[in-house]
């Protein structure tokens, strides 16, 4: 039977309702000719973690992730402009948000500190004795200088 720190099943990914995600249409960057200058196909996804319906533990782990897309105010901003279609860019941004939430759903295992075994301690001390012997043999002795 698993202990309290071990998770027997992975946590199911919570769904993010559409009303919690906001999209802003942008002009795409880079090469593309006339199309890129007049069509707003790129999108910016905005998701406020603090106001979301995510479980509290997932929300805390999501805010603790070392990701530059997560602002200090708890707002996730994802910019997607890879495709020529706004619908495809919306789907891409949504997929990336879900991947971020999936990473936060993973509960890390609790590490319990352990002590080294007797054999490991003896091997370490023996290697220190050998190293000490090598360095002692390297020293010059006063009686050898005559």
User: Is position 146 within any domain?
Assistant: no
122 domain residue, yes or no: no
**pLDDT tens, N- to C-terminus, the chain (146 residues):** 455 555 545 567 788 888 999 999 988 887 777 777 788 889 999 999 999 999 999 999 999 999 999 999 999 999 999 888 999 999 999 999 999 999 999 888 899 999 999 999 999 999 999 999 999 999 977 776 55
| Domain-embedded: residue 121 | no
| Within-domain flag for 111 | no
> What's this model's pTM, rounded to 2 decimal places?
0.68
Question: Is 119 within a domain?
Answer: no
Task: Say if 131 falls within a structural domain.
Answer: no
Q: What is the CA radius of gyration of the chain?
A: 28
Q: What domain range is 78 assigned to?
A: 18-105
Q: What is the CATH number of the domain that holds 38?
A: 3.30.160.20
Number of domains in the chain: 1
Cβ neighbours for 104, distance < 8 A, ≥ 6 positions apart: 58, 59, 61, 62, 65
């Amino acid at each position: 039977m698993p202990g309290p720190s071990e998770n027997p099943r992975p946590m199911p990914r919570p769904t993010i309702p559409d009303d919690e995600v906001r999209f802003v249409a942008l002009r795409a960057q880079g090469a593309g000719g006339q199309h890129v200058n007049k069509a707003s196909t790129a999108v910016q996804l905005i998701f406020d973690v603090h106001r979301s319906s995510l479980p509290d533990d997932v929300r805390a782990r999501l805010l603790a992730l070392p990701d530059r897309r997560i602002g200090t105010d708890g707002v996730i901003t994802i910019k997607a402009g890879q495709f020529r279609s706004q619908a495809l860019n919306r789907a891409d941004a949504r997929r990336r948000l879900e991947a971020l939430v999936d990473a936060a759903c993973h509960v890390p295992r609790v590490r319990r500190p352990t002590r080294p075994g007797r054999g490991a301690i003896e091997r370490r001390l023996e290697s220190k004795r050998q190293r000490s012997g090598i360095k002692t043999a390297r020293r010059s002795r006063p009686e050898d200088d005559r």
